[in-house]
Amino acid sequence: MWSRGIVGIVLCLVGVVWMGQGAGLIGGSFMSGQGLWLGIGSVCLVAGLSVLVWAWRIRRTRSTRVGTDHRL
């Protein structure tokens, strides 16, 4: 489903932003320079990548099943 892919992309983007803020690369927020947000962003990025891999594997599995008739 597309929803899994969208959730994975959003999680990755949020994770990258939070990592940048936690590392002090993106300023202007209470999260800037806080190591906690670097860790939270890392976890969010890994979760997003996991969801994307899951969505890709499900889509790939379903596309290989379409058109095959195992009753023959």
Q: Is residue 71's pLDDT more than 90?
A: no
The closest of 53, 46, 55 to 4, measured between CA atoms, is 55
Domain-wise residue ranges, the chain: 2-60
Q: Find the length of the chain.
A: 72
**CA-to-CA dists, residue 63 to 13, 57, 67, 68, angstroms:** 27, 10, 9, 10
pTM equals 0.79
Tell which wins on pLDDT, 15 or 59.
Answer: 15
At 1 the pLDDT is: 66
At 46 the pLDDT is: 98
* Residues with Cβ within 8 Å of residue 47, at least 6 apart in sequence: 11, 15
16-63 confidence digits (pLDDT tens)? 999 999 999 999 999 999 999 999 999 999 999 999 999 998 877 776
Q: Is residue 67's pLDDT more than 80?
A: no
